[in-house]
Amino acid sequence: MFRRRALAGFVLILLGLGLLVGRYVYLQVARHDEFAMRSTNNRVKPRAIPPARGLIYDRNGVLLADNVPAFRLEVVPEQVRNMPELLARLGKVVPLGQDDLNAFNKQLAQSRRFQSVPLKMHLTEDEIDRFAVNRWRFPGVDVVPYLTRRYPFGGLFAHVVGYVGRIDADDLQHLDPQRYQGTSHVGRSGIERSYEDVLHGTPGYELLEVNADGRTQRVLETHPPTPGRNLYLSIDVRLQKAAENALAGRPGAAVAIDPRNGQVLAMVSEPTFDPNLFVNGISQADYSALTDDPATPLYNRALRGAYPPGSTVKPLLGLGGLELGLRTPQDTVVSTGVFYIPGQKRGYRDDQRGGVGRVNLMQAIEMSVNTYFYKLALDMGIDRFSAWMGKFGFGKPTGIDLVGEASGILPSRAWKMAHSRQPWYPGETVIAGIGQGYWTVTPIQLAHAFATFADHGLPHAPRLVMATQGPIGSPRQPLSNPPSGPSLVNNPADWDAVNQGMQMVIYGPTGTGRSLASGFPYLMAGKSGTAERYSRTTDAYNTDKNNAYLASRHRAWFVAYAPANEPRIVVVAMLESGAWGAEDAGPIVRKILDAWLATHGGVIPGGAPAPAAAMAPPAPAAPAAPAAPATTAGAGGDNLPAAAASAGGNP
Amino acid sequence: MIGTIHVRARRFLRRILTRPRIDLPLAVGLVLLAAIGLVTLYSASDGDLGLVGGQAARFVLGGALLLVVSRIPPAVLRSWTPWLYAGSTALLVVVAILGEGRGSMRWLDLGVMRFQPSELLKLTMPMMVAWYLHPRQLPPRWKDMAVVGLLIAVPAGLIAEQPDLGTAVLVTAAGAFALFLSGMGWWRIGALLAAIGGMVPVGWHFLHQYQRDRVLTLLNPESDPLGNGWHIIQSQIAVGSGGIFGKGWLHSTQSRLDFLPEHTTDFIFAVFSEEFGLIGVCAMILLYAFIIGRCLWIAMEARDTYSRLLAGAIGMSFFVYVFVNGGMVAGMLPVVGVPMPMVSYGGTSAVSLLAGFGVLMSIHAHRKTHI
């Protein structure tokens, strides 16, 4: 039985092998002449042509990332007998750094022997000349032209545009080998990374005629590649420069957003670095210098830095109090200097010893009165508090078109239980009311939250890229950015009241940001924030008023928007070490606003002009009315609250 | 105690060397094949002695493994079988969870070397099917066939998922041959093949896009001038231009001028065909047929079901290598990663093949014993 089956199997196998031989007979006998001719005429090889990478412009067409021709040294491993010996000889003609050799050996190990491997990028004229003279000594080595990336503004856009880097072993794991044939660089960070797919394009190929040594004789056919699409950022170089100059190298960040559509107008993180260093492989020395710098220039503070927001978030909390029906704008609270949770001993202090007396919402925002917001947060409770603030995007990525955004922390019961396995204490709600405690936000998050507020509660995810473009000269295709959700404001009067309070920060006689008003022609609104880096150990007043000492303890924030009646720009500035929000971060915001105004020729159609003089101090107990933005604009009166009072109808 | 182990190990090694239990015709066939493989590799690698030396070292390692395995009696092998099968299948699961490989999950990194567990299944699969069938009534009934089908499908599915279609085909074939040799009825084989034929459209659905592309490229090679279509065209030019007598050793222009990709590994048989022509191809196929025939002879001489099924299945699956690789080189089958046995450079396949022949040697040596 088994013998018969085994014999049957053998017969089947012989039949299969016979079929195989039949195929070889067909190829080697019947079609031999044809293939012999094709073999002798076989001088055609395909070679991939990498696509040119899309260019990156600012909103006005200023070039931020350019392709420039360069030359690199490539080696075809198969044509080299003794690689170490060749590299040693070659090193005497063209200096090869250890970094070049490491990268080369890594790539050599994983490429096919007939594929050329780049050895040294960005050759100098001198190196090209010296190699050309000695080329005959190095079979399998060639100078090859390629396009390399150049960032003409250097560090100014390092944290936005990012940079490209040489493709390495890890990249090969996830890149489509067909699409990346012949390509040496891939987006590593910033826009270069998040828009890699758009920027890259599709490779083409050419058919080359080669001689018996494999050297190219001529090009027979060319199927050109499709270049990557160009990108237009919504950033304006002039605002970006103004923001960088205003930060003046101090560690911090500044972000400007157009609240009407979420377009980012400026985004700066200081200190910064030169992205051009990374393009052709950064040297170990340069890299160490960047990573060892205590100011961490590689760290994108705007996107990844999470800091306590401090008092900047008070207007949003105030809006929550109104929208949730817990307060009316005229409801007042007495600030005595210290606030106690009923039945508890620990006191939560105001900024001013003795407090400021009785204040309503607008005054509480104007003077940043802690007691008002301590009490409001406590009345709201942590659950409603975190639900409300979550709507403004705190505690989660904003969805900006960059990779690596930090989420920050929005405190909640669930977060604390997951984080420390502890229940929530009321005292933690109190300090959350002034943006302290566990709460951390990134500058982009805060800008996003206030852009949402400024657009009357309509959220738009921040966007850096506003349009793409095919070949140069073809029309730009704008990318739409529809609102990411419904408006957060149900009652326009609530918005008006908070807006009024934020205007009083700038124009009120006791406003924390009153120094910023002078000379700016349009009505603006803002809020300062001075967050403590370390938790306070006592509720005693700090008597050390030395600014350097305070700067070491404080993070300074300022947020502003203009024109206050119909906001078109929101600016956030943050200094990692700033003594006071208004005094230190405020001027940065003002300089960016000035630059923005200049880009519009100093004229904002429909923008309400700034009041000519500072507002009169409102009587502490007087029920102030929310401003009705558009109507106050026309009045242009000396006293904004007075004008507003006539217009605003209150329940 | 340690001394005893030491003495025993020494005795075992001495026996391996002084009284090797080998089947001379099979050994001669394998040595001849290895020699042809090295000669072809020398030409295909453009005289790279380092490459040839590395391959020779693999043959030495595989040969040593062959000698060791040939000393293990089939009865012992049989008792280990379920554990070996379970262990190698478990390793496949481990690879699926944490393996690493370029684009596909095939390798386990052992620190010293990278190891491909699917390679083990080429041997443990026919062992398991033979182990399962040996105490049962033959020809197998529907129930037994269903169990065998499951034993094959689980590891083969895991390997196909890696994705490594070539090895999955080889492992499935090895198990299926054991079933075939057990005397499964012809009409049942026909029904099974028809069912598999019916499953092809469904299977197509489960293939990765690149695998589908390979099949489609076979039908129209000109559509893919940078990828597999190029391989197929260049490989056929190499084979066809060799003619009846070939261009002579070291005179393959297709390989020398780099028109033929992978010319030391998957497509090395194209180099052989170009240099030695149809005569060389026929001689080579005859040599493979001789080795397969000898394996089946050893299978027929064995007394017990386990040894018969195992020896026959190992021999027949050797045919699958030759057929799939030879068909691929000649543009008859899609491009899948199946090497030409003992000729293609690299991989662990030469080592595992020789270990398989070690099993055959052992079965041959114990052909007179009942187990």
Q: How far apart are CA A480 and CA A467, in angstroms?
A: 9
DSSP state of A28: I
Q: Which CATH class is domain A237-278+291-468+477-599?
A: alpha beta
What's the rounded mean pLDDT across residues A274-302?
A: 87
Tell me what pLDDT residue A583 has: 78
Beta-carbon separation of B258 and A48 below 8 A: no
pLDDT of residue A628: 39
What are the tokens at B112? 């010293």
pLDDT number for residue B101: 46
Residues A392, A450: Cα–Cα separation, whole Å? 8
Distance of CA A136 to the CA centre of its chain: 49
Of the listed ranges A346-355, A550-559, B12-21, B289-298, the one predicted with least confidence: B12-21
The rounded distance, in Å, linking the Cα atoms of A20 and A244 is: 72
DSSP state of B175: H
Phi, psi of B5 (to 5 degrees): -60, -45
Mean pLDDT of A254-271: 94
Distance from CA of B46 to the nearest CA of A (A): 9
pLDDT band at B223 (very low <50, low <70, confident <90, very high): low
Q: Is B138 on the interface with A (CB under 8 A)?
A: yes
Over residues A150-160, mean pLDDT: 93
Predicted local distance difference test score (pLDDT) of residue B214 = 72
pLDDT at A538 over 70: no
Substitution target in B258, B275, B287 with the highest count of A β-carbons within 10 Å is: B258
Q: State the average pLDDT over residues A66-85.
A: 85
Q: A548-555 long-range contacts, Cβ below 8 Å, gap at least 24?
A: A548/A579, A550/A579, A550/A580, A551/A577, A551/A578, A551/A579, A551/A584, A552/A577, A554/A530, A554/A578, A554/A579, A554/A580, A555/A307, A555/A308, A555/A310, A555/A530, A555/A531
Confidence of residue A458 (pLDDT cuts 50, 70, 90): very high
Q: Does residue B35 sit in helix, strand or coil?
A: helix
Quote the number of domains for chain B: 1
Residue B1 lies in a domain: no
Q: Which of A195-204, B216-225, B289-298 has the lowest mean pLDDT?
A: B216-225
The listed range with the strongest mean pLDDT (A102-106, A350-354, A503-507, B191-195) is A503-507
Q: Which of A526-540, A548-562, B43-57 has the lowest mean pLDDT?
A: A526-540
User: For the stretch B332-347, what's the b/e string if a residue is b when 16 or more beta carbons lie within 10 angstroms of its beta carbon?
Assistant: bbbbbbbbbbbbbbee
Q: How confident is the model at residue A552 (pLDDT cuts 50, 70, 90)?
A: low
Using a cut of 0.80, tell me whether the model's pTM lies above it. no
Q: A128-132, A290-294, A530-534 — which is least confidently predicted?
A: A530-534
Range ranked top by mean pLDDT from A239-248, A288-297, A338-347, A611-620: A239-248
Of A39, A112, A173, the CB nearest to B253: A39
Asked if residue A643 has pLDDT above 60, the reply is: no
What average pLDDT does this structure show over A478-500? 90
Sort strands A216-223 and A56-57 into parallel, antiparallel or unpaired: unpaired
The pLDDT tens digits of the residues spanning B131-187 come to 999 888 888 888 888 999 999 999 998 888 777 788 888 999 999 999 999 988 888
Place of tokens 């072809």: B40
User: pLDDT band at B221, cuts 50/70/90?
Assistant: confident
User: Among all chains, which residue has been given the structure tokens 């406590």?
Assistant: A378
pLDDT at position B88 is 92
User: What's the CATH code, domain A46-232?
Assistant: 3.90.1310.10
3-state secondary structure of A631: helix
User: Greater confidence, A222 or A612?
Assistant: A222
Of A323-337, A438-452, A475-489, B176-190, highest mean pLDDT: A438-452
What are the helix (H) ranges across B330-348?
A: none
Start-to-end CA distance of chain A, whole Å, equals 102
In the structure encoding, which two tokens stand for residue A228, read together?
């990557």
Q: What is the mean pLDDT of residues A89-108?
A: 82
Lowest mean pLDDT among A462-476, A525-539, A596-610, B232-246: A525-539
Confidence of residue A527 (pLDDT cuts 50, 70, 90): very high
The mean pLDDT value of chain A amounts to: 84
Selected for mutation to probe chain B from A1, A3, A5 (highest B CB count within 10 Å) is A5
- Classify residue B345: in a domain, yes or no: yes
A5–B277 CB contact, under 8 Å: no
- Asked if the C-beta of B243 comes within 8 angstroms of chain A's C-beta atoms, the answer is yes
DSSP code of residue A559: E
pLDDT, tens only, A368-380: 899 999 999 999 9
The residues in B 34-93 lying below 8 A from A, measured between CB atoms, are 46
Residue B9 maps to a domain: no
| DSSP β-bridge partners for residue A71 | A145
Distance CA A308, CA A445 (A): 12
Residue B238's domain comprises: 22-365
Above 70 in pLDDT, residue A620?
A: no
- What is the number of residues in chain A? 651
DSSP symbol at B236: H
What is residue A601's predicted lDDT score, i.e. its pLDDT?
87
For residue B224, the model assigns a pLDDT of: 66
B103, pLDDT greater than 60: no
Among the listed ranges A206-215, A264-273, A371-380, A507-516, which one has the minimum average pLDDT value?
A206-215
Which residues make Cβ contacts (< 8 Å) with residue B359, sequence separation at least 6? B69, B70, B74, B77, B123, B127, B310, B311, B314
Domain boundaries, chain A: 46-232, 237-278+291-468+477-599
Nearest residue, CB atoms, A28 vs list B103, B182, B244? B244
- The predicted structure's pLDDT at residue A249: 87
The model's confidence at residue A419, banded by pLDDT at 50, 70 and 90, is confident
A311 is catalytic: yes
Would you state the pLDDT for residue B330? 92
| Cα–chain center distance at A472 | 26
What length is written for chain B? 371
Residue pairs between chains A and B whose CB atoms are closer than 8 Å = 136
Say yes or no for a CB contact (<8 Å) between B323 and A17: yes
Residue B185 lies in a domain: yes
pLDDT beyond 60 at A574: yes
Q: Which residues pair with A63 in a beta bridge?
A: A57
What is the β-pairing status of strands A230-233 and A56-57? parallel
A42, B253: Cβ pair inside 8 Å?
A: yes
Residue B40: the pLDDT is 94
Contact yes or no for A39 and B254 at CB 8 A: yes
Residues of chain B found within 8 Å of residue A31, distances taken between Cβ atoms: 240
Determine which of A160-164, A464-468, B213-217, B301-305 has the lowest per-residue pLDDT on average: B213-217
CB atoms within 10 A of CB A330: 17
CB A225 within 8 A of CB A201: yes
The per-residue pLDDT for range B228-264, each reduced to its tens digit, is: 677 888 899 999 999 999 988 988 877 776 677 778 8
Instruction: State the DSSP code for A581.
Output: I
**In the prediction, which pLDDT does A288 show?**
87
Q: Please report the pLDDT score of residue B265 as a whole number.
A: 85
Decide if B172 contacts B152 (C-beta within 8 A). yes
Rg (CA), chain A: 33
* Phi, psi values for residue A47, rounded to 5°: -140, 135
A6/B299 touch (CB, cutoff 8 Å), yes or no:
yes
Does pLDDT of A639 surpass 70?
A: no
Task: Give the residues across from A334 on adjacent strands.
Answer: A358
Q: Strand pairing of B108-109 and A338-340?
A: unpaired
| Nearest residue of A to residue B303, measured between CA atoms | A2
> Residue A637: its pLDDT value, please?
31
- Which tokens hold the place of A585? 């971060």
Q: Calculate the CA A596 to chain-centre distance.
A: 20
Alpha carbon distance A183, A202 (integer Å): 10
Q: Which amino acid is at B56?
A: A
**How many Cα atoms within 13 Å fall on the side-chain side of residue A504?**
29
Cβ B258–A31 below 8 Å, yes or no?
A: no
Percentage of chain A beyond pLDDT 70 is: 88
